[in-house]
Amino acid sequence: MDAAAPAVTDRYELPVPAGAARRQTLGWLALGLGALVLSGLFAVLIVLSRTPFLQDRVPFVDFFHTALVVHVDLSVLVWFVAFAGVLWSLNAARRGAAFGWLGLGLAVAGAVVMSAAPFLAAGNPLMSNYVPILQQPQFLAGLALFGLGFAALVLRAMFFVPPVGMAVSGAGALRFGLNTAVAAAAMALLALAWTWAGMPGHLEGQAYYEVLFWGGGHVLQFTHTHLMLVSWLWLASAVGAPLRIRPRAVLFLFAWGLLAVFATPVIYLATDVASPGHRALFTWQMEFGGSLASLFIGLGVLAGLWPIRRRAAATPEGAALVASLVLFGAGGFLGFLIRGSNVIVPAHYHGCIVGVTLAFMGMTYHLLPRLGFHAVGRRLGAWQAWIYGGGQLMHITGLAWSGGYGVQRKVAGAAQGLDSAERIVAMGLMGLGGLIAVIGGVLFLVAVFAAIYRGRRGSAGLDRDRLRCRSERS
């Protein structure tokens, strides 16, 4: 940290490219928004599958868990990977565009097949960590297509990017952060392949997929976290925060966060993929490996926001940024309180996931006018971030409170043991917060699609005016 005023080159922002990189940015953004729309539709199906009289009309047995699997994969896996595609495409060089289109095409095809899979055959859902799956060929084929698309995206982002440059600037620090996120993604793919190659033959079902996605899923969180940190810095500059954290310090923190990722091969060489030690080492890697970068970059952003807190909180980008900082910080803190398998565990990862999501929501608001669309409504965008973030904060608070009273995770109904007023109130707070968060999620889509429609309509109007002027001249 440096108390001196930041120089012009300390602004953390990147230009929006033209040509194929710009079109691919739009393509990945469309995939991410489409995934959120489809995940919302599956959320409706989840409700219908538990509704009297309507539940008997759903196509398959246990459609609740089938729809839940696809909802989670669309709203987390596809949305996060798609936004990685947005940020990496912004940083792409002109070369290698074919890899970008290949990755986008495969990812879209995979997401479509995964979404259609529940209506093609019985789901046979498994709620494995990181990537819940349906045990049916159609879903697994879609997941494989999506994984290949992600691999092509990573290859493009690794080998066809502009250099960071010798001068240490805010833009250079962001490019370096995007590169560390790519390195973590490549390591996650390596971990997945390594686990598959070393998988014991006796594992099947839930145990098989739990082991398969454990190592790669943990490493992939470093990708999401570094992309979130890039978004924090970018959004802080966008709202005019006078950041005191210099690009050289940011470079160091991103590099430090990547050191834990490079420990992945050591974990595989030292432990068997199905052993308790393997699971424990990846848990420790995630708990302690990326905390330093998140902590100090987060504090630097908060310090810069404090003098302009009222003005920033009234903007869509600033509201999303502050809410992201609060949710991710709360989720990270709860991670150190986990003891056993109670609902503090989902409180922890919901806080972190929502922190990343809010950062990506803020970046969507910021990028839309730079990609040729209308800016989102200032008041609607800000209120959306506060409603969504506030609801999610209530949600994880209720979960953490319930976990303190011993409510176990992955149970429902009477199995939760809500036999005291404290447990009932805590889980009620969780449910109310979840409902408010759903409203905030819908408002995000309303705000974004309204801006896209207004932007396209405005562009069409300009085109008509130009044609009319030309005809009048002729």
pLDDT digits (tens, 9 = 90+) for 6-30: 444 478 999 888 888 899 999 999 9
Whole-model pTM: value is 0.88
Query: Above 80 in pLDDT, residue 427?
Result: no
Domain, as residue range, for 385: 314-456
Give residue 42's pLDDT.
83
Q: Is residue 451 part of a domain?
A: yes
Q: Is residue 419 part of a domain?
A: yes
Q: Is residue 365 part of a domain?
A: yes
Whether the Cβ atoms of residue 381 and residue 422 lie closer than 8 Å to each other: no
Give residue 411's pLDDT.
43
Q: Is residue 16 part of a domain?
A: no
Give residue 467's pLDDT.
39
What are the pLDDT digits (tens) for 167-201?
678 889 999 999 999 999 999 999 999 999 999 88
What are the pLDDT digits (tens) for 105-136?
999 999 999 999 988 887 788 988 899 999 99
Query: Above 90 in pLDDT, residue 292?
Result: no
The total of structural domains in the chain comes to 1
Q: Is residue 384 part of a domain?
A: yes
Q: Is residue 353 part of a domain?
A: yes
Average pLDDT over residues 382-402: 88
CATH number (domain holding residue 413): 1.20.120
Q: Is residue 436 part of a domain?
A: yes
Give residue 434's pLDDT.
80
Give residue 473's pLDDT.
39
Query: Above 90 in pLDDT, residue 332?
Result: no
Query: Above 70 in pLDDT, residue 458?
Result: no
Q: Is residue 409 part of a domain?
A: yes
Q: Which range among 54-63, 177-186, 203-212, 272-281 has the greatest average pLDDT?
A: 177-186
What are the pLDDT digits (tens) for 188-242?
999 999 999 999 888 888 899 999 999 999 999 999 999 999 999 999 999 999 8
Average pLDDT over residues 282-301: 83
